[in-house]
Structure 1
Amino acid sequence: MTKNSSKHHAPETSLSKAIKLLPIVAKRNAVGVNLSTVATKANLTNTTARRLLQGLVDGGLLSFDPYSKVYTLGIGLFDLAAAEGSPRGFDSVRLKLRPVLEEVAAITGETAYFSVLFGDEALCVDKVSGARTFHESTLQIGSRRPLGVGAGSTSILSALETNRCEQIIAMNDDVYPRYGDLTSSDVRKMVRHCRKHGYLINQSLIINGLSAVAVSVFGPGNRLVGGLSVTVPNENLGRARIKEIFNVMKSGVERSNWAIGQNDMLKSAREMK
């Protein structure tokens, strides 16, 4: 018997079964979906499907029309999606930067992320995987990180007013060591580098073997929009590779009529030659 075949998986809970019904309803939300279709798609009996669906209706996540006998997404689900801190609250920014992330991922082959400022944290609102992505980052859409944790988060931190930036670093002094080998000293070094060169590098400080390059993104009136980052395996991270990734990010952002760096920070293209 193989190692995998000897494993015993815990039985699926009612909660996990109910959650799996939501995408089935969502896919047919425009016209609604009846009980038998849901049961068939979920490989459940009608009795079980009805019980799970009723629980979702009671919780406001689904709506049931007793006349047409169809289920649709409930208003409670949309309320949750629009809650403060939800990535969907930043859709206008995300949609504008989406082509940039796609271009960066396509050209570099690596995974590109976009994060925005949320209080004293960075919220990841978009991610596009590249063809050469064989590693697994802990950053996902919806992930929140203290400012200074991760390349994109630190690029946002570097764009803040100096006093606020330092206050945040001091506040997180005991927090940073929870993330790999990260320290306040490391964060300050990355902030200084980003302010001087317009980009920063997190050299495997959080995930062993995985580094990242990041830039801060600014909109009209020099308004901070967020941080764009690209994860790179250490074996692929050389000076030429950093320059390539930086130039791809810079070109994509500028074509969106936004900018990277802050005022006089845009020196890196010359300094990296």
Structure 2
Amino acid sequence: MPQRTSMIKPGRARVEMPAGTQAIQRASLLVRLIASRGRSGLRLAELVEHSGFTRPTVRRMLKCLVVEGMVMQEEASHRYFLGPLIFELGLAAAPQFNLRDICHPSVQRIADRTGDTVFLSVRSGYDSVCIDRAEGSFPIKALTLDVGTRRPLGVGAGGMALLMPLPEAAVADIVERNAPRFAAYKGLTAPALLRLLKRSRESGYALNDHHMTDGAISMGMPIVNPFADPFASISVGAIASRMSAERRPEVAAALRTEVRQLARLLSDTATP
């Protein structure tokens, strides 16, 4: 019988992994790190720093990923980006995941009601990934996320919203794992993120007013399953002048109405 190794997923029990899968796990981590930086990409030195792997190991794995089309390197900047195969695989997998289709009417209603830009994000391991976006009627947009953008959990209003319902042990695990990546977001630190989480839980919504896009503020709330586990979030982004303290209750009400409705709808959908 093959030997097995163990790994821990955030908020989950220990998962046994078959022996001999280390290379796959390492390659997957590199792809996720590259995805987390979206259009900015990552240099070899940054991938070495964030992965904890040796430079020769990262270089060797990147060479293989480039050959397979999963990663591409820009010649001028030497930065690595997601390759065409990732896009093709995403298209092939899309029909199996209809969460975006189910949630889009709610995303659009919030955009229509607030006039601002609305984002739907899902949890993916230690990250959040934007899977949908709708723009409101206000002429000045806060397009802080592109569809497909990946960020460490806790970063941004959508990522913070996904942390809000989690137990403390799961939060501690996620924050410890993601801490080396926080500094890329305007100097965010783990203690600062935990203070923001405390504020979010007290107010009932995630508020990002410091650590992302200058001149923009975003608010978010989680969508939870019947066991109160967060699997997605909806956030609203706007220029700072439109997210005054006086207006935030109005935006929060729009979010709350839709996330509660979606929680019920998705619970009914999952019931045989």
Task: Provide TM-score, normalisation by structure 1.
Answer: 0.60
Match of 1:96 among 102, 116, 120: 102
Answer yes or no: is the 8 Å Cα contact 1:216–1:226 preserved in 2: yes
Residue 165 of structure 1 corresponds to 171
Secondary structure of 1:226 counterpart: strand
Matched AA of 1:211:
I
Answer yes or no: is the 8 Å Cα contact 1:217–1:258 preserved in 2: no
Secondary structure of 1:251 counterpart: helix
Matching of residue 212 in structure 1 with residue 225 in structure 2: no
Residue 193 of structure 1 corresponds to 199
Matching of residue 254 in structure 1 with residue 271 in structure 2: no
Secondary structure of 1:113 counterpart: strand
Shift of the alpha carbon at 1:89?
6.8
Match of 1:81 among 91, 98, 105: 91
Q: How big is each residue's C-alpha offset from its partner over 1:23-42, in whole Å with a ceiling of 9 and x where there is no partner?
A: xxxxxxxxxxxxxxxxxxxx
Q: How big is each residue's C-alpha offset from its partner over 1:133-160, in whole Å with a ceiling of 9 and x where there is no partner?
A: 5245341111111111111011112222
Residue 178 of structure 1 corresponds to 184
Structure-2 separation of matches of 1:251 and 1:170: 33
Structure-2 separation of matches of 1:215 and 1:239: 17
Matched AA of 1:134:
I
- Where does 1:229-268 land on structure 2 (aligned, <5 Å)? 229-258=235-264
Shift of the alpha carbon at 1:79?
3.9
Shift of the alpha carbon at 1:191?
1.4
Answer yes or no: is the 8 Å Cα contact 1:116–1:123 preserved in 2: yes
Shift of the alpha carbon at 1:99?
1.0
In our comparison, the structure showing a higher alpha carbon Rg is 1
Q: Are residues 90 and 185 of structure 1, via their aligned partners in 2, closer, same or farther at CA, if it must alter by over 3 Å?
A: farther
Matched AA of 1:82:
A
- Where does 1:1-273 land on structure 2 (aligned, <5 Å)? 79-82=89-92, 88=94, 91-258=97-264
Q: Provide structure 2 residue ranges, at least 5 long, that are not aligned to the other structure.
A: 1-68, 70-85, 266-272
Higher relative contact order structure (alpha carbons within 8 Å, sequence separation ≥ 6): 2
Secondary structure of 2:128 counterpart: strand
Structure-2 separation of matches of 1:77 and 1:190: 34
Q: Provide structure 1 residue ranges, at least 5 long, that are not aligned to the other structure.
A: 1-58, 60-75, 260-273
Q: Are residues 225 and 77 of structure 1, via their aligned partners in 2, closer, same or farther at CA, if it must alter by over 3 Å?
A: closer
Root mean square deviation, CA, Å: 2.6
Q: Are residues 99 and 162 of structure 1, via their aligned partners in 2, closer, same or farther at CA, if it must alter by over 3 Å?
A: same
